[in-house]
Amino acid sequence: MIKNILLIVCLVTTAVSNAQIKKQSILKSKQLYGAYLFVYFTGKGKDQEAIRFAISKDGYSYYAMNNGKPILPSKKISSTGGVRDPHILRGQDGKTFYMVATDMVVASGWNSNRAMVLLKSNDLINWSSTVINIKNRFPGQDSLLRVWAPQTIYNEKAGKYMVYWSMKYGKGPDKIYYAYANKDFTDLETVPKQLLFMPGNGAAIDGDILQKEGKSYLFFKTENSKIAGIKVAMSNSLIGPYQIADNYLQQTTDPVEGVGTFKLNDGTGYILMYDVYTKGRYQFTKSKDLRNFTMIDDAVFMNFHPRHGTVMPITVAEAERLLAKWFSTDDLARTASNRAIKKLDISLDTANKILTLPLSPGTDLSKFNPGLTQFPGVDISPKGLLDFTKGAMNYKLQIGGGKPITYRIQVVINNEPSFGGEDSGPGMLFSHKTDKYYINPTIDGFSDWSGNYLKTFSLSNLIHWKDKGIILDLFKDASSAKTNAWAPTITRKK
């Protein structure tokens, strides 16, 4: 009898222990980084100068949250009615988040703002905010013209959060300064000091600091040099002095700004990204040593057009919380990512829950997986390769504890030629000299249709178009206009 009682006690104890271990394992897995949060704004105008969120599972493909709308009302958090250049940081405790942004609307002029916004959150959903007007906060700021692109980093030596940003005084160049925030992150408690000193008193903006193996890497944009672009400066101390490397890091000849860096969750390296603002797109580069970068544009996808923003790795639990708040099953359906899909032509009937995926010629429909993104806390069934030769298939999508929604996914082979971008209003010509067709479309995808360049495409078989590159760049080739290059046509000059 005593032996049996002891055995029962041991079994109960073991069962409780196993339950605790399982619970701890689930909790630990949710604390691991499992996704990325992209914080950004979209362009000029008060409806666009606002903070938006996007999410990524792998750090390369990003999808807008909240149906592409702002997650915070700019009018409530700013003094100008708009914010730009948001930067987000995870606190030292791992669960507090700090965000800073430029308090500015471009309509008032590039030299119109004197303030930044400090924000704080414990859950990435609810944010408190404070406006810091540098001119009013500190003495001797009468000639201050602008306050741009603040960012935050923790200084372990000082035991404080350091905010750094660029400022311009009078006729002087833009320079990067820093100051320490107070404990509550509601004010700057130290007078701004210059952080980066450029040779020849040159200009620098859009600083972004990443620390690795005891060194601080300050990425920034040069402004008034012969070749404006992205450079890196290194220091053994967060507050300098910084030694500036000679080479430029951008992998394009187009103007760039809004540099940002983040470490990939899989440990394969670091991403250096920047805003190619005259082309309405972001460019991603990858590095292992923070000195040498390789362009990886072909691996990157966004279903939105961001301006100057930043990316922060987030945990599984944080991703689940954000998805439950600002992501729908319709959004999830649109993440179909099989390489055969012509993503820009995906069609979703939201009323009847029918998703149509246009596929490239030659795709094997007998073994096809739409590739819906498996975000944390998301349930997608069925999984794997399915036979679509007999028609559409039913998929059940569920986010967190939400209601499962059934979608009918159908695939069609799309033989229509595509330029691989968002284009419209083309002019077309057949050349007897080259025996080829040429098309010049409007390059779309910019806010307010503000595209500033034109491309031409050629083909000889009416199926496979070849991108011949930019034939007119308003920034370089025209003095009378800088935006809104629309509806080109083409003719022959004998």
- Candidates 333, 342, 329, 253; CA nearest to 301 is 342
Asked if the model's pLDDT at residue 487 lies above 50, the reply is yes
Share of the chain above pLDDT 70, in %: 89
Q: Which residues contact 306 (CB under 8 A, 6 or more apart)?
A: 38, 40, 41, 42, 52, 54, 275, 282
Asked if the model's pLDDT at residue 357 lies above 90, the reply is yes
Q: In the chain, where are the structural domains located?
A: 31-326, 329-413, 423-477
Residue 66 gets which letter from DSSP? G
User: Which whole number is the average pLDDT over 116-143?
Assistant: 97
Q: Classify each residue of 382-421 as buried b or exposed e, where b means 16 or more C-beta atoms within 10 Å of its C-beta.
A: eeeebebeeeebebebbbeebeebebebebeebeeeebee
Residue 245 gets which letter from DSSP? P
CA distance 233 to 269: 19
pLDDT digits (tens, 9 = 90+) for 68-114: 999 999 999 999 999 999 999 999 999 999 999 999 999 999 999 99
Number of other CB atoms surrounding residue 442 within 10 Å: 20
CA distance 466 to 418: 10
Element of type H or E holding 200: none
CA distance 395 to 404: 10
Element of type H or E holding 14: helix 2-31
Number of other CB atoms surrounding residue 180 within 10 Å: 16
Residue located via tokens 């053994």: 236
- With contact defined as beta carbons under 8 Å apart, do 177 and 196 qualify? no
User: Would the pTM of this model clear 0.75, i.e. be above it?
Assistant: yes
Looking at the DSSP bridge assignments, the partners of residue 148 are 166
**Cα 158–chain centre separation:** 30
Number of other CB atoms surrounding residue 114 within 10 Å: 21
pLDDT digits (tens, 9 = 90+) for 361-391: 899 999 999 999 999 999 999 999 999 999 9
What is the pLDDT at residue 443?
72
Q: How many residues does the chain have?
A: 494
Q: What is the CATH number of domain 31-326?
A: 2.115.10.20
CA distance 430 to 491: 9
- With contact defined as beta carbons under 8 Å apart, do 40 and 55 qualify? no
CA distance 429 to 441: 12
Strands 281-287 vs 294-295: parallel, antiparallel or unpaired = antiparallel
CA distance 328 to 95: 25
**Three-state DSSP class for residue 296:** coil
**Three-state DSSP class for residue 276:** strand
CA distance 285 to 261: 10
CA distance 245 to 206: 17
Average pLDDT, the chain: 89
- Encoded amino acid at 78, one letter: S
Number of other CB atoms surrounding residue 368 within 10 Å: 21
Q: Which two tokens stand for residue 130?
A: 């404070």
User: Which whole number is the average pLDDT over 1-12?
Assistant: 51
CA distance 257 to 8: 68
- Candidates 265, 267, 228; CA nearest to 249 is 228
- Reported confidence tier of residue 439, pLDDT bands at 50, 70, 90: confident
Element of type H or E holding 476: helix 474-477
Torsion angles phi and psi, residue 300, rounded to 5: -105, 140
User: Which whole number is the average pLDDT over 135-162?
Assistant: 97
What is the pLDDT at residue 10?
47
- Encoded amino acid at 86, one letter: P
Burial class (CB in 10 A: 0-12, 13-18, 19+), 168: buried
What is the pLDDT at residue 422?
66
Q: What is the CATH number of domain 329-413?
A: 2.60.40.2340
Residue 329 gets which letter from DSSP? H
Torsion angles phi and psi, residue 318, rounded to 5: -65, -40
pLDDT digits (tens, 9 = 90+) for 296-319: 988 999 999 999 999 999 999 999
Residue located via tokens 């394992």: 25
- With contact defined as beta carbons under 8 Å apart, do 164 and 180 qualify? no
- Reported confidence tier of residue 402, pLDDT bands at 50, 70, 90: very high
Ranges of H-type helices in 334-468? none
